[in-house]
Amino acid sequence: MSSATAQSSSRSGNLDCSSYARGLYINGKWLPGKGIPVTDPSSGNVIAEVADGSVDDARAAVDAAAAAAGGWRATSPRNRAQILLKCFDLMMQRQDELAYLISLENGKSLADARGEVAYAAEFFRWYAEEGVRISGEFMTSPGGGNRIIVDYEPIGIAVLITPWNFPAAMATRKIAPALAAGCTVVLKPASETPLTAYALAALYSEAGVPDGVVNVLTTTNPGTVTAAMLNDSRVRKLSFTGSTGVGRLLLAEASKSVLSCSMELGGNAPFIVFDDADLDAALDGAMVAKMRNGGEACTAANRFLVQDGIYDRFVAGLTARMKALKVGPGTEPDTECGPMITRKAIDKIEALVSDAVDRGAKVELGGKALDREGYFYPPTVLSNVSHDADMAKDEIFGPVAAVYRFGTADEAVAMANDTEYGLAAYIYTQDIRKGMAISSRIETGMIGLNRGLVSDPAGPFGGTKQSGLGREGSHHGVIEFMEAKYIATSL
């Protein structure tokens, strides 16, 4: 990119994006560099350029994390907690500024971005509280002579890799528990949305996180650069959020060093609506489960499975609500559905919609990319979607609601489980006993029972099957960054 382009495109709205692109953040210092353009998806314009980290930079980041590890581990849990609380406070004080930045580089609406900042900040508050309450175990062995003592220790240096769809929350959901556990980290954020990660790195430093405890590195060469870190014997943990395909590659790489892995991968959430559901509540939940982040969420309702008796009313209600959404740049205050992240994302959605229509789906609303600058796909509703359609198996990751029909509860359960994914599912029924019974038959890590949102820092977030390994949030999340040390003794 020419410097003229960089100059003219670095200001967007009232925000000077170049001030967030200061370089790699290693050992508390900014190492300037260029090579990764950052694009505003509502216009396609480049708004900043960040550094392209190399294998040597990755080694320097691990060096920094290793040098800081002893001091951070020795910092008392209370002092660590106070720093985490400061991170929470600073994020909330800057909620609007951070939300604007997220909206600018990711495209999501300002309302969604503000919600993301609050959610992301809450991980710091939650783990400030959790970090001072990590207890071990003590018991007498069954034979009576020995004592069993279990201590939980920080696992060691953690490599964190995050996606673009929640640039703040996917990072803090890992950094906060890692720091609470006493670990130091290297974060590799997604290339599409690095500005938020760098803005937060500066904020952590201001909150008192010592140099080297959090290091942030962007790269155009994620396979080689992360492999260098995963094969460094000082690194003991990989925590990844992203697609199942990349997750598989990383698991293979991590197997060489037998690294502990937490994997938050893709989803294909069924949203099941029974005849006895409260229709308005189901429609409210459907809009949240489908349209948060314009559908670009791993927990997004990917398949609406609707029972015969309520089917027509649900499709009509959903179509009316989707039609009422205001589409536009995320940074405009009244926008409800922003652009998709890239042109490639639009191409994928178009291919999935066209395949579904070829197999008999009826377009109730939308169904074609918008002819305007940027990467816009309109809110879309497809009814009578065939179970053979590609979108029944793949993540749509866009504002397309695909509605399928079922007759019996057994059919709904079979359809819901007919996927390699097992992240989230939603069930709407006014019969709570039935809702609980169906919940126990659905093969996912999370269920929204008469709720369209499951994400909560206090709840264990994670998937079964090929949606991942381990849990983030709640007391489970911090244990992912700890190792049990068992001491056998005869007291």
> For binding to ligand NAP (CB under 6 A), which residues are involved?
161-166, 170, 188, 190-191, 222-223, 226, 241-243, 246, 249-250, 264-267, 298, 395, 423, 463, 468
- Considering beta carbons, is residue 170 or 287 the nearer one to ligand NAP? 170
Minimum separation from the CB atom of position 169 to ligand NAP (A) = 9
Which positions are annotated as active-site residues? 264, 298
Bridge-based pairing of strands 424-428 and 269-273 is parallel
For residue 471, the tally of other CB atoms under 10 A from its CB is: 20
d(CA 355, CA 198): 39
Nearer to ligand NAP, 201 or 265 (CB): 265
Please provide the size of the chain in residues.
491
Nearer to ligand NAP by Cβ, of 90 and 442: the residue is: 442
CB of 73 to ligand NAP, least distance (A): 27
Please state the closest distance from residue 192 (CB atom) to ligand NAP, in A.
6
Residue nearer to ligand NAP on the CB measure, 292 or 321 = 292
> At closest approach, how far in Å is the CB of 437 from ligand NAP?
26
Nearer residue to ligand NAP within complex by CB, 23 or 242: 242
Q: Which residue is nearest to ligand NAP (CB)?
A: 242
In whole angstroms, give the CA distance from residue 109 to residue 244.
26
Q: Which three-class secondary structure string do you get for the chain?
A: CCHHHHHHHCEECCEEHHHHCCCEEECCEEECCCEEEEEECCCCEEEEEEECCCHHHHHHHHHHHHHHHHHHHHCCHHHHHHHHHHHHHHHHHCHHHHHHHHHHHHCCCHHHHHHHHHHHHHHHHHHHHHHCCCCCEEEECCCCCCEEEEEEEECCEEEEECCCCCCCHHHHHHHHHHHHHCCCEEEECCCCCHHHHHHHHHHHHHHCCCCCCEEECCCCCHHHHHHHHHCCCCEEEEEEECCHHHHHHHHHHHHCCCCEEEEECCCCEEEEECCCCCHHHHHHHHHHHHHHHHHCCCCCEEEEEEEHHHHHHHHHHHHHHHHCCCECCCCCCCCCECCCCCHHHHHHHHHHHHHHHHCCCEEEECCCCCCCCCCCCCCEEEECCCCCCHHHCCCCCCCEEEEEEECCHHHHHHHHHCCCEECEEEEECCCHHHHHHHHHHCCCCEEEECCCCCCCCCCCECCEECCEECCECHHHHHHCCEEEEEEEECC
Q: Which CB sits closer to ligand NAP, 163 or 294?
A: 163
Q: Which one, 86 or 188, has the nearer CB to ligand NAP?
A: 188
- Cα gap 355→348, rounded to integer Å: 11
Shortest separation between residue 413's beta carbon and ligand NAP, angstroms: 22
- The two structure tokens encoding residue 251: 């698991």
Q: Token pair for residue 57?
A: 């930079």
**Measured from the CB of residue 341, what is the shortest distance to ligand NAP in angstroms?**
8
Least distance to ligand NAP from the beta carbon of 121, Å? 18
Q: Between 20 and 311, name the residue whose CB sits nearer to ligand NAP.
A: 20
- Closer by beta carbon to ligand NAP, 188 or else 303: 188
Question: Any residues with CB less than 8 A from the CB of 412 and at least 6 apart, and which?
Answer: 270, 272, 274, 305, 307, 406, 438
The Cα 89–Cα 83 span in angstroms is 10
**Amino acid found at 358:** D
- Least distance in angstroms from the C-beta of 268 to ligand NAP: 9
Min CB(167)–ligand NAP separation in Å: 10
